[in-house]
């Protein structure tokens, strides 16, 4: 009979689930049942479960609905049935987040928590604390203290955990209850002593000395609970972190002792702490051997814990990890892909050059089975390997090419292409092979975005290779076979060859002529554009419009274009848009799953929104450059102020970022009094109305530059002026009454040449550019610099001119080559030769610019 019944139920699955298709309004109506004089526990319990289920599924309850349900639920306190009462507590906890006037149940819950029924008490305490706020705390404080020292472990735990939760709103509470917590720390019940330890730790959070005492005492007593031990290890580790003195030795001994504990949880905690603390490989040995054991455990969590912690060691102690190579190799074929991927990346990071080939072979056997996101991690690891062992490029590139041919999504393919592109860029030996792999790949690439990128790379790198002609076929095939965007990219790439390889030019012209018949507008446009420029055979034109095109920052370009649409009468000047900065990717440890990359934004983008609030800002034209912030105060001081210089063609906006670090003060009407150098003119000031504790706000000062560029160098004196009002440190409410005016002097800051120039290092073709500029005005001077080392001197000069350090070349005689655009759009080229002698460093500086005053300014900036 029973089996028959079950079959019927299984066929109609939904009927077995009383919670399927619940309707909120119907359930809420059902709560009327609670008003009956004699409630039926089972029925009411089911209704409460339904409410909880709906809440858990994310159903929205309005405040009114929640309040009604809450009040209906409170009626159920008349029933003594245990299960029902427990569900009532659960409902109170969940609904109290949404409903109003929840404190109404305080007395019922207080009665339950002090009552006789043990099964009520623990849960009642937790429910009560979830509806209590700091103001009501006093009423129940006495009961809570009693509950902490209660014999019943559940009650004691409930009170201690509630104390932890409450301390987020009432920080001093845990200190008042610390004595009771202290009493229970030696409880026989593991969880009670764990929770008591938690409360004690929190109460001593800001008191290092008493934390030291606590840890010292407890590390000698025999704590049974593994959770408590884990917490204690973390505390001990924190105490000796960064402390190399003798004082930390007892903690280290304690942690090492925990390596021999019987619970794996504690062993791992101790090993993890040691790995992250120790400096020398010898000290690490016991921890590493424990992790090594974990790697061969049957539990995946243990293997992951072991592999992950070993992976973290790779950057600091590659040799210690290398000793575990065999264990890690066994993990390559692990059924848990997180473990396998970690093992592979760790091995790649620590392996010697000789083992690379063998490893690659092993990886190729498993790589096809893992999901794309792990493949990407492996690809990144291989990419790092390419730069680590440049000599291995052949086999690595071949491997990457093999992966490229396999099935995979865009992101995966893009990661491989990235790796090969990086290889091509970093390693000149690998260029030819890398490029030919990419050529092969675009023959059969379904991702348009990727094909376009690779074509662009071929256009850039191909002409510089030994046999440029061989790439033409691959690129031109795209023109015949692919979709519009790829064809357009191919045309641009072909044109690059025409521009840079004269012997190919006639053929390229023919190809481009054919492309002019394309059906796609963009392809035709490009073909016409490139043909026309190539026909002129004017090297300057070809260089400026095909080979070396400045790339503007895309985000700012978009913004500039949008501004332009608002004022279409003015012609658009692309030079006004800051060029894209080449950001070197920072090296990071490769063996890490799940690393979030912060979005890279240029400084101009970060500030654009804040600047938009200044009235009349649109009249200043497009932003030319934003400089890095400069501190105008000491770090540890009442008010912290930084200045950011936003440079426009004829104006500069000083943004003073102010932070008030006094929690008992509010600053009102904050502005900056600025003393400007002669010829400068202050246009407007945007003060900050109110500066509250620890919140950054800005004061803006708009200043017009002097007419002559040469006058723009100078220094500014600033004073912060404001009205102080005292306030309550806790609530931030200002005291009644008037405040008083006060001021605060800030450090002086400069307007230099580097602030007003967007500079870049000279490229390969710098020499030709310099020669071409032979007929523009030039300024020359010779300087004797105060530095004694040529390298230092060169760096200092670069800093003055705003040039990156990459523009320095040469050994004994340093040469600086660079160029840039001055605010207002005047291009400028700089060359400096520095030579050291016993007397000091001598420098000959030349600057060429169509605006002679700009060239003069550059010299003045150094002098």
Contacts to another protein from residues 271-290, by CB under 8 A: 272-273, 275-277
Pairing of strands 827-837, 778-785: unpaired
For the chain, the distance separating the N- and C-terminal CA atoms, rounded to the nearest angstrom, is 103
CB of 361 to another protein, least distance (A): 24
| 136-175 binders of another protein (CB under 8 A) | 154, 157-158, 161-162, 164-165
Applying CB under 8 A, the span of 5-13, 143-151, 451-459, 673-681 interacting with another protein comes to: 5-13
Please provide the DSSP assignment of 277-332 as one string.
H--SHHHHHHHHHHHHHHHT-SSHHHHHHHHHHHHHHTTT-HHHHHTTHHHHHHHT
Measured from the CB atom, the residue of 297 and 395 that comes closer to another protein is 297
Measured from the CB atom, the residue of 255 and 647 that comes closer to another protein is 255
Contact between 375 and another protein by CB under 8 A: the answer reads no
Measured from the CB atom, the residue of 338 and 712 that comes closer to another protein is 338
Contact between 335 and another protein by CB under 8 A: the answer reads yes
Of positions 7, 12, 594, 609, contacts another protein by CB under 8 A: 594
- Number of chain residues interacting with another protein (CB under 8 A): 85
C-alpha closest to that of 231 among 257, 203, 260, 193: 193
C-alpha distance from residue 418 to each of 192, 379, 397, 412, 457 (Å): 54, 9, 12, 10, 11
C-alpha closest to that of 406 among 445, 448, 360, 452: 445
C-alpha distance from residue 672 to each of 241, 266, 743, 770 (Å): 43, 57, 9, 44
Of positions 98, 113, 302, 862, contacts another protein by CB under 8 A: 302
Applying CB under 8 A, the span of 68-76, 297-305, 421-429, 439-447 interacting with another protein comes to: 297-305
Please provide the DSSP assignment of 105-165 as one string.
GHHHHHHHHHSS-HHHHHHHHHHHHHH--GGGHHHHHHHHHHHHT-SSHHHHHHHHHHHHH
Q: Give 848: exposed, middle or buried? Use CB within 10 Å, 0-12, 13-18, 19+.
A: buried
Contact between 9 and another protein by CB under 8 A: the answer reads yes
Site string for another protein, 595-634 (x = CB under 8 A): xx--------------------------------------
Contact between 18 and another protein by CB under 8 A: the answer reads yes
Contact between 194 and another protein by CB under 8 A: the answer reads yes
Of positions 31, 45, 96, 496, contacts another protein by CB under 8 A: 45
Contact between 336 and another protein by CB under 8 A: the answer reads yes
CB of 521 to another protein, least distance (A): 40
Query: Is 54 within 8 Å of 24 (Cβ atoms)?
Result: yes
Q: Position of tokens 């290889």? A: 423
Query: Is 212 within 8 Å of 176 (Cβ atoms)?
Result: no
Contact between 317 and another protein by CB under 8 A: the answer reads no
CB of 806 to another protein, least distance (A): 26
CB of 467 to another protein, least distance (A): 42
Measured from the CB atom, the residue of 410 and 595 that comes closer to another protein is 595
Q: Position of tokens 């985000």? A: 555
CB of 562 to another protein, least distance (A): 31
C-alpha closest to that of 400 among 352, 367, 428: 367
CB-hemisphere CA count at 13 Å for 428? 3
Measured from the CB atom, the residue of 146 and 315 that comes closer to another protein is 315
Residue 754 in tokens: 């580097």
Measured from the CB atom, the residue of 9 and 619 that comes closer to another protein is 9
Measured from the CB atom, the residue of 237 and 488 that comes closer to another protein is 237
Distance CA 861, CA 863 (A): 6
Judged by DSSP in three states, 594 sits in coil
| 629-658 binders of another protein (CB under 8 A) | none
CB of 301 to another protein, least distance (A): 5
Of positions 22, 24, 33, 52, contacts another protein by CB under 8 A: 52
Contact between 264 and another protein by CB under 8 A: the answer reads yes
Contact between 209 and another protein by CB under 8 A: the answer reads no
Q: Position of tokens 């300024």? A: 779
Applying CB under 8 A, the span of 264-272, 469-477, 547-555, 681-689 interacting with another protein comes to: 264-272
Specify which residues 370 forms β-bridges with.
none
Of positions 75, 175, 261, 337, contacts another protein by CB under 8 A: 337
Distance CA 391, CA 387 (A): 9
Of positions 73, 309, 384, 754, contacts another protein by CB under 8 A: 309
Phi, psi of 517 (to 5 degrees): -95, 5
| 495-554 binders of another protein (CB under 8 A) | none
CB of 324 to another protein, least distance (A): 15
Measured from the CB atom, the residue of 19 and 770 that comes closer to another protein is 19
Of positions 33, 432, 581, 592, contacts another protein by CB under 8 A: 592
Measured from the CB atom, the residue of 58 and 737 that comes closer to another protein is 58
The residues near 369 (Cβ < 8 Å, ≥ 6 apart) are none
Measured from the CB atom, the residue of 13 and 738 that comes closer to another protein is 13
Measured from the CB atom, the residue of 194 and 822 that comes closer to another protein is 194
CB of 154 to another protein, least distance (A): 7
Measured from the CB atom, the residue of 82 and 637 that comes closer to another protein is 82
| 67-126 binders of another protein (CB under 8 A) | 81-83, 86-87, 90, 93, 119, 122-123, 126
Contact between 46 and another protein by CB under 8 A: the answer reads yes
Site string for another protein, 811-840 (x = CB under 8 A): ------------------------------
Residue 455 in tokens: 């074509």
Distance CA 156, CA 172 (A): 20
Pairing of strands 749-751, 757-761: unpaired
CB-hemisphere CA count at 13 Å for 183? 13
Contact between 291 and another protein by CB under 8 A: the answer reads no
Measured from the CB atom, the residue of 204 and 848 that comes closer to another protein is 204
CB of 2 to another protein, least distance (A): 4
CB of 74 to another protein, least distance (A): 19
Applying CB under 8 A, the span of 386-394, 584-592, 688-696, 846-854 interacting with another protein comes to: 584-592
C-alpha closest to that of 296 among 306, 311, 286, 288: 306
Measured from the CB atom, the residue of 120 and 476 that comes closer to another protein is 120
Measured from the CB atom, the residue of 467 and 596 that comes closer to another protein is 596
Q: Position of tokens 């992951």? A: 304
Phi, psi of 713 (to 5 degrees): -80, 135
| 172-191 binders of another protein (CB under 8 A) | 191
Applying CB under 8 A, the span of 230-238, 608-616, 752-760, 818-826 interacting with another protein comes to: 230-238
Residue 733 in tokens: 């409410």
| 770-789 binders of another protein (CB under 8 A) | none
Residue 186 in tokens: 């030696």
Applying CB under 8 A, the span of 174-182, 550-558, 590-598, 711-719 interacting with another protein comes to: 590-598
Specify which residues 820 forms β-bridges with.
759, 828
Contact between 251 and another protein by CB under 8 A: the answer reads no
Greatest alpha-carbon pair distance for the chain in Å reads 108
Helix (H) or strand (E) holding 645: strand 639-647
Query: Is 452 within 8 Å of 433 (Cβ atoms)?
Result: no
Running DSSP on this structure, what letter comes out for residue 391?
A: G
């Amino acid at each position: 009979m029973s089996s028959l019944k079950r079959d019927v139920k299984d066929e109609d699955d939904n009927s077995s689930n009383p919670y399927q298709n619940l309707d909120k309004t119907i359930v809420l109506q059902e709560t009327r049942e609670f008003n009956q004089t004699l409630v039926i526990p089972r029925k009411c319990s089911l209704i409460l479960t339904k409410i909880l289920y709906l809440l858990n599924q994310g159903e929205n309850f309005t405040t009114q609905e929640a309040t009604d349900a809450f009040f209906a639920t409170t009626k159920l306190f008349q029933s003594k049935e245990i299960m029902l009462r427990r569900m009532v507590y659960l409902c109170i906890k969940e609904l109290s987040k949404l409903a109003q006037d929840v404190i109404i149940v305080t007395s019922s819950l207080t009665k339950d928590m002090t009552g006789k029924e043990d099964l009520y008490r623990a849960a009642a305490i937790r429910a009560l604390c979830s509806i209590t706020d700091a103001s009501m705390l006093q009423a129940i404080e006495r009961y809570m203290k009693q509950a902490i020292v209660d014999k019943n472990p559940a009650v004691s735990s409930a009170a201690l955990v509630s104390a932890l939760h409450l301390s987020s709103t009432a920080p001093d509470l845990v200190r008042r209850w610390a004595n009771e917590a202290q009493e229970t720390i030696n409880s026989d019940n593991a969880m009670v002593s764990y929770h008591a330890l938690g409360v004690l730790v929190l109460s001593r959070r800001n008191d290092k000395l008493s934390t030291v005492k606590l840890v010292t005492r407890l590390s000698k007593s025999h704590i049974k609970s593994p959770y408590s031990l884990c917490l204690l290890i973390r505390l001990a580790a924190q105490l000796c972190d960064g402390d190399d003195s003798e004082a930390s030795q007892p903690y280290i001994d304690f942690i090492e002792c925990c390596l021999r504990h019987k619970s794996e949880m504690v062993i791992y905690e101790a090993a993890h702490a040691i790995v992250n603390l120790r400096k020398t490989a010898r000290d690490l040995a016991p921890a590493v051997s424990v992790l090594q054991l974990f790697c061969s455990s049957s539990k995946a969590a243990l293997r992951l814990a072991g592999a992950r912690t070993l992976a973290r060691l790779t950057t600091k102690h590659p040799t210690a990890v290398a000793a575990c190579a065999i264990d890690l190799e066994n993990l390559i074929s692990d059924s848990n892909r997180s473990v396998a991927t970690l093992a592979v990346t760790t091995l790649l990071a620590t392996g010697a050059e000789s083992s690379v080939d063998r490893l690659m072979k092993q990886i190729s056997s498993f790589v096809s089975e893992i999901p794309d996101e792990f493949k990407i991690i492996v690809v990144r690891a291989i990419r790092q390997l390419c730069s680590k062992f440049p000599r291995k490029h052949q086999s690595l590139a071949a491997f990457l090419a093999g992966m490229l041919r396999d099935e995979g999504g865009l992101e995966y393919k893009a990661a491989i292409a990235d790796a090969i592109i990086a290889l091509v860029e970093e390693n000149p030996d690998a260029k030819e092979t890398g490029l030919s792999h990419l050529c092969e790949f675009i023959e059969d690439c379904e991702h348009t975005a990727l094909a376009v990128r690779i074509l662009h790379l071929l256009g850039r790198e191909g002409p510089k290779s030994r046999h440029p002609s061989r790439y033409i076929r691959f690129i031109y095939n795209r023109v015949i076979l692919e979709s519009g965007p790829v064809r357009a990219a191919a045309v641009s790439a072909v044109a690059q060859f025409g521009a840079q390889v004269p012997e190919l030019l006639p053929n390229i012209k023919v190809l481009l002529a054919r492309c002019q018949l394309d059906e796609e507008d963009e392809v035709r446009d490009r073909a016409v554009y490139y043909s026309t420029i190539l026909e002129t055979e004017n090297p300057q034109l070809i260089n400026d419009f095909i080979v070396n095109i400045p790339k503007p920052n895309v985000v700012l370009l978009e913004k500039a274009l949008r501004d332009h649409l608002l004022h279409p009468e003015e012609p658009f000047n692309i030079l006004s848009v800051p060029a894209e900065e080449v950001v070197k990717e920072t090296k990071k440890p490769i063996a890490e799953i799940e690393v979030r990359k912060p979005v890279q934004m240029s400084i101009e983008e970060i500030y654009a929104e804040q600047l938009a609030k200044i009235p009349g800002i649109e009249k200043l034209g497009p932003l030319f450059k934003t400089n890095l912030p400069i501190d105008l105060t000491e770090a540890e001081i009442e008010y912290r102020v930084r200045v950011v210089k936003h440079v426009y063609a004829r104006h500069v906006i000083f943004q003073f970022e102010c932070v008030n670090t006094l929690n008992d003060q509010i600053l009102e009407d904050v502005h900056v009094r600025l003393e400007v150098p002669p010829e400068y003119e202050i246009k407007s000031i945007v003060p900050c109305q109110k500066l509250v504790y620890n919140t950054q706000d800005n004061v803006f000062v708009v200043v017009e530059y002097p007419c002559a560029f040469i006058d723009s160098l100078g220094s500014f004196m600033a004073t912060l002026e404001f009205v102080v009002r005292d306030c309550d440190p806790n609530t931030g409410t200002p005291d009644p009454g008037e405040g008083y005016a006060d001021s605060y002097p800030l450090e002086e800051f400069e307007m230099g040449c580097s602030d007003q120039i967007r500079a870049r290092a000279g490229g390969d073709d710098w020499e030709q550019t310099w020669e071409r500029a032979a007929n523009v005005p030039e300024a020359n001077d010779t300087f004797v610099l105060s530095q004694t080392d040529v390298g230092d001197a060169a760096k200092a000069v670069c800093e003055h001119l705003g040039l990156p350090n990459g523009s320095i070349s040469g050994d004994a005689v340093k040469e600086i080559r660079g160029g840039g655009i001055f605010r207002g759009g005047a291009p400028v080229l700089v060359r400096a030769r520095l030579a050291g002698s016993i007397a000091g460093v001598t420098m000959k500086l030349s600057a060429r610019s169509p605006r002679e005053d700009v060239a003069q300014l550059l010299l003045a900036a150094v002098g």
